[in-house]
């Protein structure tokens, strides 16, 4: 027990931290990450290693010995093992979709939807489909987003408006895709299943998406008389058609298989594995890839051969190796979260806050707000997602609210805001890639700030609040 002497600790008596020590420990971690990233440019993984040492030192002052501290870290990781298996599958799904021509077909046929009046609405849908299929907001913005920026600029549509549309579509899939690292990370950290998490997010994300689509449609009607640069679009389509066979019935089959199995409540691992097998068959039997090359791509994919640099980079994404950065970061953050929780630092920090959160809407709003503040302070959504899940999980469970509502609220604070803050990694990437400063496209990223607002309003109305088993 936490308040009993540890036999291995000798004369040390284990005690619980008070609010002051908890604040110093937690605040120290935030300072290490923020200063290391923004002032020194140190790798985030190394900063987490330093945070582990800092937190372990505080745990030792409470009387925990090395064996106990290591056990806390291991427990934090072990609770997330099912989701870690999914992380390994994500890279393979993305590579398989590239090899089968699924992503190429989405781009090819999606570009046919573009017209001056419907450019913004169609662009939002196309970016959303791309980000759902690939699970990457950065990959979507860095490929399709660059194409749409060029087309929108040639049509005379204000670039901040086009960039805002791209960020909305890219973030949509980053939040909802079963192959998105942040989607899986939020579900894993909050202790809910992947599809339970996605189902919970549909309550708030779909209304926000529909409202954003209506706004972009109305704005787009103001550019009916503009001219579409058909030559640029034709060049991209011809490059794709020369590298892939693009029959939509065949190439979109892997995505359809994963969607159907997901809707029929198959486990995420089963749905992903089935889509990989179907995609590999299409890559070999339809696209003409060698079996060895197709299988090797599941470990580390190779760049496309369309001749268009940004497009080839996207088509070369995926493979298990591509997930190593996120997976290693997640393991270290989970170990840190396990220590912060088991040693009592999170509980000590929450005591005063929980007493003030009498209503569910206050809890949801606080979780979303903490996600935004976390991104402002640390500049990285991954850490914010894991730490906020650890911070608020016990409170959600104590109130009998399903952990899927926690994971949803964490994403609506962290994932949705990361691209709207200039100094986050996402904000810096979007600004550099699209050539539009964050503060200029921010007013047009309707989905990113409408989604949290809708979530809080729905919580106030008692809509979409899934109930779990109440824990004391």
Domain shared by 343 and 421, yes or no: yes
Neighbours of 328 (CB within 10 A): 12
Name the residue with higher pLDDT: 20 or 135: 20
CA proximity to 145, closest of 311, 320, 312, 366: 311
Domain shared by 97 and 202, yes or no: yes
* Residue 387 pLDDT: 80
| Predicted structure pTM score | 0.72
Domain shared by 368 and 316, yes or no: no
Domain shared by 333 and 315, yes or no: no
Residue at which a domain ends, from 321, 353, 375: 321
Contact 114, 289 (CB under 8 A): no
Domain shared by 289 and 375, yes or no: no
Structural domain contains residue 271? yes
Give the contacts of 321 (CB within 8 A, at least 6 positions apart).
91, 299, 300
Domain shared by 300 and 329, yes or no: no
* Residue 353 pLDDT: 65
Domain shared by 357 and 415, yes or no: yes
| Distance (Å, whole) CA 120 – CA 228 | 12
Residue at which a domain ends, from 321, 337, 365: 321
349 pLDDT higher than 70:
yes
Structure tokens at 354: 């929980």
Residue 212 phi/psi, 5-degree rounding, is -65, -40
CA proximity to 371, closest of 138, 190, 117: 190
| Distance (Å, whole) CA 329 – CA 326 | 5
Structural domain contains residue 31? no
Structural domain contains residue 167? yes
Structural domain contains residue 28? no
Structural domain contains residue 361? yes
Contact 195, 268 (CB under 8 A): yes
| Per-residue pLDDT reduced to its tens digit, 137-182 | 877 887 778 778 878 887 888 999 999 999 999 999 888 988 888 8
Domain shared by 306 and 374, yes or no: no
SS3 for the chain is CCCCCCHHHCCCCCCCCCHHHHHHHHHHHHHHHHHHHHHHCCCHHHHHHHHHHHHHHHHHHCCCCHHHHHHHHHHHHHCCHHHHHHHHHHHHHHHHHHHCCHHHHHHHHHHCCCCCCCHHHHHHHHHHHHHHHHCCHHHHHHHHHHHHHHHHHHHCCCHHHHHHHHHHHHHHHHHHCCCCHHHHHHHHHHCCCHHHHHHHHHHHHHHHHHHHHHHHHHHHHHHCCCCCCHHHHHHHHHHHHHHCCCCHHHHCHHHHHHHHHHHCCCCHHHHHHHHHHHHHHHHHHCCCCCHHHHHHHCCCCCCCCCCCHHHHHHHCCCCHHHHHHHHHHHHHHHHHHHHHHHCCHHHHHHHHHHHHCCCHHHHHHHHHHHHHHHHHHHCCHHHHHHHHHHHHHHHHHHCCECHHHHHHHHHHHHCCCHHHCCCCHHHHHHHHHHCCCHHHHHHHCHHHHHHHHHHHHHHHHCCCCCECCCCC
Structural domain count, the chain = 2
Domain that includes residue 368, residue range: 42-56+65-78+323-461
Domain shared by 332 and 315, yes or no: no
Structure tokens at 149: 């920026």
* Residue 62 pLDDT: 93
Structural domain contains residue 18? no
Contact 347, 394 (CB under 8 A): yes
Domain shared by 225 and 342, yes or no: no
Residue at which a domain ends, from 288, 303, 321: 321
Contact 415, 171 (CB under 8 A): yes
Domain shared by 128 and 260, yes or no: yes
Structural domain contains residue 452? yes
Structural domain contains residue 434? yes
Domain shared by 267 and 333, yes or no: no
Name the residue with higher pLDDT: 414 or 309: 414
| Per-residue pLDDT reduced to its tens digit, 265-283 | 787 788 889 999 999 999 9
Distance (Å) of CA 252 to CA 37, 90, 161: 40, 17, 30
3 pLDDT higher than 70:
no
- Average confidence score pLDDT of the chain: 85
Q: CA Rg, the chain, in Å?
A: 23
| Per-residue pLDDT reduced to its tens digit, 56-94 | 999 999 999 999 999 999 988 887 777 677 778 878 888
Cα-to-chain-centroid distance, residue 12: 42
């Amino acid at each position: 027990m936490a308040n009993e002497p540890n036999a291995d600790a000798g004369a040390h008596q284990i005690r619980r931290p008070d609010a002051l020590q908890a604040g110093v420990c937690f605040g120290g971690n935030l300072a290490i990450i923020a200063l290391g990233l923004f002032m020194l440019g140190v790798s985030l993984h190394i900063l987490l290693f330093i945070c582990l040492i800092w937190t372990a030192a505080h745990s030792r002052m409470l009387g925990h010995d090395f064996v106990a501290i290591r056990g806390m870290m291991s427990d934090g990781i072990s609770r997330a093992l099912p989701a870690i298996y999914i992380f390994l599958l994500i890279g393979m799904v993305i590579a398989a979709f590239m090899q089968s021509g699924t992503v190429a077909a989405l781009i090819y046929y999606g570009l046919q939807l573009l017209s001056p009046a419907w450019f913004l609405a169609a662009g939002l849908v196309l970016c959303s489909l791309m980000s759902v299929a690939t699970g990457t907001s950065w990959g979507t913005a860095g490929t399709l987003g660059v194409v749409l920026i060029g087309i929108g600029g040639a049509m005379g549509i204000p670039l901040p408006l086009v960039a805002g549309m791209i960020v909305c579509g890219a973030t949509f899939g980053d939040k909802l895709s079963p192959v998105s690292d942040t989607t899986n990370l939020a579900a894993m950290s909050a202790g809910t299943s992947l599809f339970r998490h996605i189902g919970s997010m549909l309550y708030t994300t779909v209304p926000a998406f529909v409202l954003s689509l209506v706004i972009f449609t109305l704005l787009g009607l103001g550019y009916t008389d503009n001219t579409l640069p058909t030559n640029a679009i034709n060049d991209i389509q011809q490059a794709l058609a020369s590298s892939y066979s693009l029959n939509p019935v065949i190439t979109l089959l892997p995505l359809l298989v994963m969607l159907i199995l997901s809707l029929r409540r198959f486990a995420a691992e089963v749905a992903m594995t089935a889509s990989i097998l179907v995609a590999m068959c299409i890559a070999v039997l339809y696209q003409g890839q060698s079996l060895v090359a197709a299988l090797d791509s599941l470990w580390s994919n190779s760049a496309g051969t369309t001749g268009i640099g940004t497009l080839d980079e996207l088509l070369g994404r995926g493979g298990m190796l591509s997930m190593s950065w996120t997976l290693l970061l997640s393991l270290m953050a989970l170990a840190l979260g396990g220590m912060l929780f088991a040693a009592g630092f999170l509980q000590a920090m929450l005591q005063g806050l929980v007493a003030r959160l009498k209503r569910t809407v206050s809890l949801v709003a606080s979780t979303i707000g903490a996600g935004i503040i976390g991104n402002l302070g640390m500049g990285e959504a991954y850490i914010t997602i894991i730490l906020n899940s650890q911070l608020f999980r016990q409170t959600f469970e104590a109130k009998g609210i399903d952990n899927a509502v926690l994971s949803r609220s964490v994403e609506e604070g962290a994932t949705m805001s990361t691209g709207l803050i200039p100094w986050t990694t996402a904000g810096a990437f979007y600004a550099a890639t699209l050539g539009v400063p964050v503060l200029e496209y921010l007013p047009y990223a309707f989905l990113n700030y409408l989604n949290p607002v809708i979530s809080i309003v729905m919580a106030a109305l008692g809509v979409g609040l899934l109930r779990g088993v109440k824990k004391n």
